[in-house]
Amino acid sequence: MSVGANIQMRPREGNPDRRFYSPNRDIAYIYISMCKEALKGLDVSRWEDWFGDYLRLTKTTPEQIGEGAKRFAEAHNLFTKTDQITVPTEALRAAGFYQLPYPVQIGIFARLGFITMGTYFMGIRDVTEYNGVPPVQLQIDEMVAGGRSVAEAFATLALPPPLVRPDQEELQRQMDKAQAAVDHAQAAVDRATGLSWELSRTKHQLALYEKRVSWISLLSLRVSWVAAGALAAGAVGGAFVGWLLHYVM
C-alpha cells in the first residue's frame, strides 16, 4: 500500500477551466507543525494512561521512544534530498526507523494520528456553520461507509499467524552466545599457534643440540685416535729401547 497520495480538486460550480486545487500544498506547510506537536506528545509527562499502559505492556522503554522520534524526524529530511526516495516508507527505512521494535513505530504513528485527527476536527468546524453541512460531507459519508464495510469484513475474519520476529532480549542472548563461541574459537587458535611456535622452537633447539653432540662425538673420536697413537708409539719406543739395551749388554 502506498503511503503517499496526490489529490487534485476542482470546484463543481464556476468556471470548468479553473485551475485544479491541490491540498498537498497546504499539507506541505501545516504538516510539520502537526508532526512537531505529535513528537512533543511523546514526552513522558504528556502520556495518557492508555499510552503509558501500552508501552509498559509491550516493554517499550522511554529511550526506545526517544530514538524512534529522532529517526522519524530525520526521515522527513530525506523526502526532498535525493531522487532515490520515491515514497515515504523508503525514507523511513533509510533513516533506520523500521529497525526499531514494532511498538515504538506504532506508538509514534498513533501520536501523529491523534494530532492529525485533532487538526481536522478544528479545521472542519471552522468551515462549517453551526449545525450545518460540511463542504466535504460526501467524502465523510464515503468514509463512514468504508468503516462499516471494514467492520463487517473483520467480524468473521480470522487473525493471520503472527510474524516470526525474535524477542530483542533473546536475540541479544543469542548474539552473546555467538560472540562467546567466536572468542572460544579464537582462543583455541591462539593456543594452537603458541604450541606450533613452541614446537618449532623445540625442533630448532634439538637441531642445535644434535650438531653440538656431533661435534663432541667427533672431537672424542679424534682424542681417542691421538691417545691410541700415543700408546702405540710408546709401545714401539719401549720395545726398541729394550732391544737396544739387550744388544749393548
- d(C-alpha 43, C-alpha 41), whole Å: 5
How many domains are there within the chain?
A: 2
Residue 31 lies in a domain: yes
| Residue 243: predicted pLDDT | 44
User: Do 174 and 122 lie in a common domain?
Assistant: no
Last residue of a domain, one of 77, 102, 126: 126
Return the exposure string of 108-136: e unless at least 16 CB atoms fall within 10 Å of the residue's CB, then b: beebbeebeeeeeeeeeeeeeeeeeeeee
**Based on the domain organization, do 190 and 247 belong to the same domain?**
yes
Determine, yes or no, domain membership for 107: yes
Angstrom distances, CA of residue 129 to CA of 116, 133, 140, 143 = 22, 7, 16, 21
> Are 112 and 28 contained in the same domain?
yes
pLDDT of residue 193: 61
Same-domain check for residues 47 and 119 = yes
C-alpha cell at 77: 529530511
Residue 6 lies in a domain: no
Among 126, 151, 176, where does a domain finish?
126
Phi, psi for 241 (deg, rounded to 5): -65, -40
Residue 151 lies in a domain: no
| Residues 67 and 119 grouped into a single domain | yes
Tell me whether residue 1 is in a domain: no
**Position 76 in a domain:** yes
**Do residue 109 and residue 31 come from a single domain?**
yes
Q: Are residues 118 and 37 in the same domain?
A: yes
Same-domain status, 117 and 34: yes
* pLDDT score, position 178: 72
Say whether both 120 and 173 belong to one domain: no
243 plus 183 within the same structural domain: yes
Give the number of residues written for the chain: 249
DSSP state for residue 46 in the 8-state scheme:
G
Domain span at residue 116 reads: 24-126
Q: Residue 33 domain-assigned? A: yes
Residues 33, 113 share a domain: yes
Question: At 7, which amino acid appears?
Answer: I
**Whole-prediction pTM value?**
0.55
Per-run averaged pLDDT (10 residues), the chain, 249 residues? 54 61 78 91 89 92 94 93 90 95 94 92 90 90 92 81 65 72 69 61 63 56 51 49 46
Q: Are residues 113 and 183 in the same domain?
A: no
Provide the 10 A C-beta neighbour count for residue 107. 23
The confidence score (pLDDT) of residue 245 equals 43
Res 240: pLDDT: 43
Domain end call among 93, 126, 159: 126
Decide if 15 is inside a domain.
Answer: no
